[in-house]
Amino acid sequence: MPGENLSREEARERAAILSVERYDVALDVRSALGPATAGEPRTFRSTTVIDFRCTRPGASTFADLIAPAVTSVRLNGRELDPAAVFDGSRIALDGLAERNTLVVDSRCAFSRTGEGLHRFEDPEDGEVYLYTQYEPADARRVFANFEQPDLKAPFSFRVTAPEGWTVLSNGAADGEPVPAEGGGATVAFVPTQPISTYITAVVAGPYHVEHDHYARTHPDGAVLDIPLSALCRRSLARHFDADAIFDVTKRGLDFFHESFDYPYPFGKYDQAFVPEYNLGAMENPGLVTFQEEFVFRGKVTRTSYERRANVILHEMAHMWFGDLVTMRWWDDLWLKESFADFMGAFAQVEATQFTEGWITFANRRKSWAYRADQLPSTHPVVADIPDLEAAKLNFDGITYSKGASVLKQLVAYVGREAFLEAARRYFKRNAYGNTTLADLLTVLAETSGRDMAAWSAAWLETAGVNSLTPQVMCDAQDRITELSVAQTADESHPRLRPHRVAVGLYRRTTEGTLERYARAETDVAGPSTVVAELAGQPRPDLVLVNDDDLTYAKTRFDEVSLATLRERLGELADPLARALAWSAVWNLTRDALMPARDYLDLMLRFAGQESDIGVLQSLHLQARTALVHYVAPEARDEAGTALAEGALHELRRAEPDSGHQLAWARFFATVASSAADLQLLQGLLDGSAKIDGLDVDQELRWAFLETLAAEGVAGEDVVRAERARDDTASGNRHEVRCLAARPDPAVKAAAWAAVVESDALSNALTEATIAGFAQPGQRELGEAYVAPYFAAIEGVWAARSIEIAMNVVRGLYPALQEGAMALAATDEWLSERAGAAPALRRLVLEGRDDLARAVRAQQRDALR
């Protein structure tokens, strides 16, 4: 629809003349139950009253609404003809007064894509659950509004729902539910503080709810009294560990209250774990929503609990960075996401049991950032976002993890207390308002005394990642005469930046470990910086130029250091240093500077010694990526066999019933392909084989079964039988994925039709089908879909919701096909479709860049 993609200029023009005083939104969701009308969307009634001011009486503007039908529109008492003023996404408003009241009565559609008001029917018990998800601009699928972040207002919601349902919104319930005419009950909620449309929320359904309470006395004497709740579907209640969730929540509230000196501003704190969620979580004030995969159905490693704690704290940080103070437009998305990413890790390390959080940050979050910053779509942390489609794609590794990495570097640059004091002033000055980069730089300059304009220009307003390489000269007595750090940048983004780094010197001890014996912290600037403090130190076996992970840069090595890592990487005693070394050699592999099989050799030799389970699981993901994409095609079978043998060896030697054993079992399942490997997986499923201590629970069964299905060993009957054992929402997704994984042209054709030619599948089942469709061992089956892919994607982009379209365009890109052929097809489409939607072209360019990188890595590996 023409008006769906709101532009930045339109938003600026509207904000220049409008201010919103209040919203009163009434939703009747009783239609979520009962049969749907064939051929028509299932809808609910939405009535919105908006009081707003206009600085230019007589002006025209528009309200946003995406709905199948509008029953009535009334502006300042005048009835407007819906057919004349509503085009499917916008309501035209002419002849505005200084003070205005808009009343819109509409029929909005329940969602199957996770956008707007999502409806889910639990296959286990038939219960129906609803929740909203709006970011960046899907509140307009639920109620009429001015859908941009800088038109904040208080919201009052009233929701009429079936009898017995739990109904929640941002604010607390205003009294008891009132019986509704025709059945059910209406719940009214107290008005919110002024917030943006995209963080309003409603959750409704027969949820299982657990309650707790947070009570503290603030240093200023104010009593903090925050009701807590956590909820999930009833069928998941037996797996729900709400006490652990409440523990992290309370620790986080303690940490943020102390750090920010600004009490939590939104009353209650509900956390809802909801089905078929598109995101990890969403920071709706007073009602945070999470993907229900954080309710663990089976045994998981400590990493899964650590990640859940990190997400809980990330969303909590948003209560201040994003909800209390919100960016004016999506250009400054980093003002909330970068800060939440950084503060989530900060709080996790300092306030919870997961003190290894910075290791995970260095190994996983920065890996995401480094990849994103080398794509052709890379952008400054402060981005140029012309419209909503561009905003949707900007929730990426730059905005989240590069921004967070830059903030970590900023803390090293200005000091912890200056950083936190800047945050405190920022909240107090801008509470319930909207800000830009300049507002933050002002307070940072005040508290640090640093030139923040220069820092911002270097780190926030230019794109690209630098590389830092040590250069070591020693004398005849094996003493360092000079150690310098060389800084380089890619030609496409040649900016060199100031870095606050720690340079660590390591050597092998008599106990056989690599230990740091000297460290210097310094500012690196320009192409070469001498670290004078390290002169005179004994010759090192290893120089780590970003020790302690203070800055954001790719770490390189001198020849001696790289040779040391090839032989002794596993001997690095410090887990953070070891994680940084693993990250560095992975970047060398991605950049085609190290053969992929050399990386796999390192993984097979040293991963079994890795104590940090999060790092180990990252190594598994990277090893599979190296095997599938970076190993020379003629060497894949041999490398795959070696990887599977090594994985099985480590699986058998891992401590029984440990997280490491579980991680190796899951990794083994992803690389197993020989007849003996597949026979073992079958035996573990049917009980004829056993590995001491390995509990093959339902989730692990599905992991094994997907491999068996993809290899043609397990057919439809086996998959259906497994679904009968696991007749749940998760079982449904696993079944769909396994069925689509089978190596049969008819299966692939059906899967393709289901996601490309039809919109019948929900978002979760679309993702599952795509995941099953693309199998590394079935490259020949994928060749038939290269041309259809490029013929279909513009139609998909135009017809489907952006979330589904993104999944299809990314997930079905021919990344597994022979490089030259797929690159040529991509280049032809890019050349012929110069006028395609910019966001769509961005996704295709990203797929092309990954494929071109894979080709370069394969060529390097072939020269090994």
pLDDT, average across residues 130-140? 97
* Tokens at 709, concatenated: 């299905």
84 half-sphere exposure, CB direction, 13 A CA radius: 7
Q: Confirm if 67 and 107 have CB atoms less than 8 A apart.
A: yes
d(CA 62, CA 481): 69
- The Cα 641–Cα 849 span in angstroms is 28
- Give CA–CA dist 434/680, Å, rounded: 58
Q: At how many degrees (to 10) do helices 802-811 and 838-862 cross? A: 20
91 φ/ψ angles, rounded to the nearest 5 degrees: -110, 115
Confidence band, pLDDT 50/70/90 cuts, at residue 412: confident
- pLDDT tens digit string along 2-51? 468 999 999 999 999 999 999 999 999 999 999 988 888 999 999 999 99
CB atoms within 10 A of CB 10: 16
- Contact, 581 vs 618, CB < 8 A? no
Nearest-angstrom CA–CA distance, 330 and 149: 8
Local structure of 52: helix, strand or coil? strand
Task: With CA atoms as reference, report the closest residue to 840 among 765, 782, 790.
Answer: 790
CB atoms within 10 A of CB 640: 21
Report pLDDT digits (tens) over 471-524.
999 999 999 999 999 999 999 999 999 999 999 999 999 999 999 999 999 999
For the stretch 757-768, pLDDT in tens is 999 999 999 999
Residue 397's pLDDT band, with cuts at 50, 70 and 90, is: very high
Q: Please tell me the distance from the alpha carbon of residue 363 to that of residue 543, in angstroms, as a whole number.
A: 19
| C-alpha separations of 65 from 46, 73, 495 in Å | 11, 12, 43
Query: Using an 8 Å Cβ cutoff, are 402 and 369 in contact?
Result: yes
The residues pairing with 398 across neighbouring beta strands, listed in sequence order, are none
User: Which residue, among 488, 464, 441, 489, has the nearest Cα to 379 in the 3D structure?
Assistant: 464
In the chain, the percentage of residues whose pLDDT exceeds 90 is 97
Length of the chain: 864
Rounded-to-5 percentages of helix, strand, coil across the chain = 45, 20, 30
* Rounded Cα distance, 63 and 51, in Å: 12
The pLDDT-based confidence of 221 (bands split at 50, 70, 90) is confident
Using the predicted structure, report yes or no on whether residue 1 has a pLDDT greater than 50: no
Catalytic residues: 315
pLDDT at 95 over 90: yes
Other CB atoms within 10 A of residue 257 CB: 17
Reading across the β-sheet that carries 528-530, which strands appear in turn?
528-530, 480-489, 466-474, 554-555
Distances (CA, A) of 800 to 111, 112, 143: 12, 12, 20
* Residue 106 DSSP SS3: strand
Q: What is the pLDDT of residue 3?
A: 63
Dihedral of CA atoms 8, 13, 19, 20 in degrees, nearest 10, equals -50
Q: What letter would DSSP give residue 222? A: P
Give the CA dihedral 68, 72, 74, 77, nearest 10 degrees. -170
What's the mean pLDDT in 171-176?
A: 96
Residue position matching structure tokens 């801008």: 430
**732-742 per-position pLDDT tens digit:** 999 999 999 99
Task: Over range 106-114, report the average pLDDT.
Answer: 97
Q: What is the pLDDT of residues 670-712, one digit of tens each?
A: 999 999 999 999 999 999 999 999 999 999 999 999 999 999 9
The answer to whether 629 and 854 are in contact (CB under 8 A) is yes
When comparing pLDDT for 36 and 646, which is higher?
A: 646
- Predicted local confidence at residue 2, as pLDDT: 47
* Mean pLDDT computed over 801-826: 95
Sign of CA dihedral 761, 762, 766, 768: negative
Average pLDDT, the chain: 96
- Distance, in Å, from the CA atom of 801 to the CA atom of 794, rounded to the nearest integer, reads 13
Which of the 8 DSSP states describes residue 526?
Answer: S
Q: CA torsion angle for 524, 529, 534, 536 (degrees, to 10)?
A: -170
**Phi/psi at 195 (nearest 5 deg)?**
-140, 165
Answer yes or no: are the C-beta atoms of 718 and 749 closer than 8 Å.
no
Cα–Cα dist 723/373, whole Å: 41
Closest CA to 412 of 549, 221, 587: 549
**80 or 38: which leads in pLDDT:** 80
What's the token pair of residue 427?
A: 């909240």
pLDDT, mean of residues 118-127: 96
Contact (Cβ atoms closer than 8 angstroms) between residue 719 and residue 739 = yes
pLDDT digits (tens, 9 = 90+) for 196-219: 999 999 999 999 999 999 998 876
Helices 675-686 and 636-653 pack at an angle, to 10 degrees, of 40
DSSP state of 400: I
Answer whether 184's CB lies under 8 Å from 128's CB.
no
Distance from C-alpha of 659 to C-alpha of 665, rounded to nearest angstrom: 10
Q: Report the candidate in 361, 360, 312, 358 with the shortest Cα–Cα distance to residue 613.
A: 360
Among 112, 138, 117, 132, smallest CA distance to 759 is for 112
Residues 6+ apart with CB under 8 A from 336: 283, 318, 321, 322, 326, 327
Please, how many CA atoms are within 13 Å of residue 798, restricted to the half-sphere of its CB?
7
Q: In terms of Cα–Cα distance, which of 554, 560, 563 is closest to 590?
A: 554
Phi, psi of 395 (to 5 degrees): -80, 75
